[in-house]
Structures are given as C-alpha cells and as structure tokens.
Amino acid sequence: MFRKLVNDELGRLSVSEFKTIEKAPVVVVLDNVRSQHNIGSAFRSSDAFKVEKIYLCGICAVPPSAQIHKSALGAEFSMDWEYCKNTIEVVEKLRSEGYTIVSVEQAENSTSLELFHCEEGSHYAFIFGNEVHGVAQEVVDASDLCLEIPQYGTKHSLNVSVSIGIVLWEIFSPCA
C-alpha cells in the first residue's frame, strides 16, 4: 500500500531557511522567455533543485506578478533573482565570476544531455530561450557549450519549463 504524504511530512524548508542553505553551483538564465507561466515554473523548479539564482533577461516579466505566482507557488520569494535587459551582459558577468556558460539549444556540435557531466568545484550557468526562437544566436555564440535534450518524436520541441526541469534533474546529483 502507498499512502500519500501530507505537507507536514515533506520536510519543507521555510523561505528564511532556504535562503541560508548551501545551493548547487548553478544559475538559470532565461533569455527572452515570453510566458509568465513558464517563468513561474522556472522559479519553482529552481527552488526544488536549490539553484543559486535566476536571471530574467529581455522580455521576461518579473515578480511580483499574479501569473508568475500562479506557477511559482511562492518560489519567487525563496529564489534569488535579478533582471537584466541584455542576456549577453549577464553571460559576460557570469563568465567573469568563473561560471561555465551553457546554452540549452539544438545546435551543431552540441553535447547530448546524457553525456554531460558537471565537474566538481565548477559553477554553471544554464541558459534557456524563448518559446518560439530558443536561445538567441548571439548568446549561443557566447556560450562555452550547448546542451541538447535528445528527442525522438516528430516535434523535436519541448516547452521551456519542461526543458528546465529535465536539465536540472539530470545535472542536479553531480553538481549538488
């Protein structure tokens, strides 16, 4: 038999406790993500995997927002985040701080996600792009590598919030 756990049994941290715990050496960068629901989902997944910070760039909406909150379920309060109009400025800042810049995109010479392994002691910035256009080419050009999620159907297109969840799940254990 299986009994669903109730919220009190999940060992959830308070926002103040979450702010003080050690985070994975990972940041998430959203490059012109249009949907506030996708942005909220990025907050929620980033909280779940103890991501250091989220950067919202370009046309991304920012909290406070009822639509972001609807998907984030309060993770917009626990996660550190910053808005920057220009994604390249964020890439340059993170590179100067020692982050490896990783665009999650279908690209020539990309690395398939299952072949990627975090190096111990390294810090990573994973960039996720617009729902229609993906990560901007200039951002891909400025990246240290591109990760591609293998896909086998007819679409070869995942929702950006799904991609964030898949990538964070895959890299979490070796990076945490």
Q: Return the CATH fold of 20-175.
A: Alpha/beta knot (3.40.1280)
Only one residue has tokens 């299952």, namely 114
Q: How high is the mean pLDDT of the chain?
A: 96
Report residue 162 CA to chain centroid gap: 10
CA distance linking residue 122 with residue 85, whole number of Å: 26
pLDDT in tens, 111-128: 999 999 999 999 999 999
Q: What is the amino acid identity at position 101?
A: I
Domain definitions of the chain by residue range: 20-175
Q: With cut-offs at 50, 70 and 90, classify the pLDDT of residue 176.
A: low
Tokens of 120: 């111990």
pLDDT of residue 54: 98
pLDDT in tens, 18-67: 999 999 999 999 999 999 999 999 999 999 999 999 999 999 999 999 99
Q: Where are the alpha helices (DSSP H) in the chain?
A: 15-20, 36-48, 66-72, 75-78, 87-96, 137-141, 160-175
CB burial class (10 A; 0-12, 13-18, 19+) of residue 65? middle
pLDDT of residue 5: 95
HSE, side-chain direction, 13 A CA sphere, residue 6: 1
pLDDT of residue 24: 95
